[in-house]
């Protein structure tokens, strides 16, 4: 596949303007995507704690709409085997709001801030990443609990929607630890891949978000923030205990999402371009010394 420079930039058949047009239509290469995502991570690491916390709180609240819209769609359909395929469209709602609204979501940061850690390899970057994860995860979960509490206000939604909310909340509380971890690995993997794909998606950003998050929803994969709204609602309605929230949902889902995002996407994709990036750095350094 041609790089930006190669895609028409040196073609003798094109004028300078046409070469520029060809370069604009070329897909960005893996090192370019890596640097775009890494720079997003660097920016997030530099943000002050209050900014991170408010953005993450907004993300947690926004993710609540995945739960609500999914329940509304399910409530309006017959109890058929295909119902979850339609209701799953509602699961995409929160992800669209969060990602296009540039709100801070924990599962995105398992990719974005890991790349600066792998690139810099110093204690300061590691500590900044840990600070971000703690602040963002806590604020995300706080936002999900606040949204779940709002859903409990009586008289706001029709009885059919309330029953649908309760059914989805009960489904969100898994019975077994390790199967939940594996489902969470797949979810973290897919969401981190979505973040990796977005720089090259361009006009298809919305479709990319919809497609990936829809798969997570209809496959009933475990997502730490989207699922937290449902699990919090289960606790608040008495269908689960706080211990159930922590041990049956939160712990296995957090573990799996981090494995999927960090090891299966961040580390592998970084490894795929690390040698090339290092060669480019050394080449620039050599050119600078020659100059």
Instruction: Say what the pLDDT of residue 12 is.
Output: 56
- Within 63-210, strands assigned E span none
Q: Are 107 and 21 in contact (CB under 8 A)?
A: no
Residue 16 has pLDDT above 70, yes or no: no
Locate the domains of the chain by residue range. 28-267
Q: What whole-number distance in Å separates Cα of residue 112 and Cα of residue 117?
A: 9
Confidence of residue 21 (pLDDT cuts 50, 70, 90): low
Q: Quick check: 135 and 52 in contact, CB under 8 A? A: yes
CB 266 within 8 A of CB 129: no
Q: What is the pTM of this model?
A: 0.87
- Give the pLDDT confidence of 224-235 residue by residue, as tens digits: 999 999 999 999
Pairwise CA distance, residues 236 & 147, whole Å: 11
Residue 135 pLDDT > 90: yes
Average pLDDT, stretch 261-278? 84
Q: Is 102 helix (H, G, I), strand (E, B) or coil?
A: coil
Judged against a pLDDT cut of 60, whether residue 18 lies above it is answered with no
- The CATH code of the domain at 28-267 is 1.20.1080.10
């Amino acid at each position: 596949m041609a790089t930006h420079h190669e895609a028409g930039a040196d073609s003798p058949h094109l004028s300078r303007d046409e070469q520029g047009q060809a370069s604009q239509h070329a897909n960005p290469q893996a090192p370019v995507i890596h640097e775009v995502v890494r720079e997003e991570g660097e920016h997030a690491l530099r943000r002050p704690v209050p900014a991170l916390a408010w953005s993450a709180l907004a993300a947690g609240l926004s993710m609540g709409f995945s739960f609500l819209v999914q329940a509304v769609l399910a409530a309006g359909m017959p109890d058929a085997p295909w119902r979850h395929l339609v209701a799953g469209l509602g699961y995409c709602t929160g992800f669209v709001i969060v990602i296009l609204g540039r709100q801070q979501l924990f599962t995105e940061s398992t990719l974005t801030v890991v790349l600066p850690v792998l690139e810099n390899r110093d204690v300061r970057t590691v500590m900044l990443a840990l600070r971000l994860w703690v602040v963002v995860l806590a604020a995300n979960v706080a936002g999900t609990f606040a949204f779940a509490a709002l859903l409990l206000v009586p008289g706001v939604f029709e009885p059919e929607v309330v029953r649908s909310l309760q059914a989805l909340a009960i489904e969100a509380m898994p019975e077994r630890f390790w199967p939940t971890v594996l489902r969470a690995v797949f979810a973290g993997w897919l969401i981190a891949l979505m973040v990796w794909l977005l720089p090259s998606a361009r006009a298809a950003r919305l479709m990319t978000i919809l497609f990936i998050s829809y798969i997570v929803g209809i496959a009933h994969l475990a997502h730490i923030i989207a699922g937290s709204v449902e699990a919090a609602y289960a606790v608040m309605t008495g269908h689960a205990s706080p211990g159930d929230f922590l041990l049956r949902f939160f712990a296995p889902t957090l573990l799996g999402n981090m494995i999927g995002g960090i090891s299966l996407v961040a580390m592998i994709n970084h490894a795929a371009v690390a040698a090339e990036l290092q060669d480019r750095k050394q080449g620039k350094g050599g050119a600078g010394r020659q100059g």
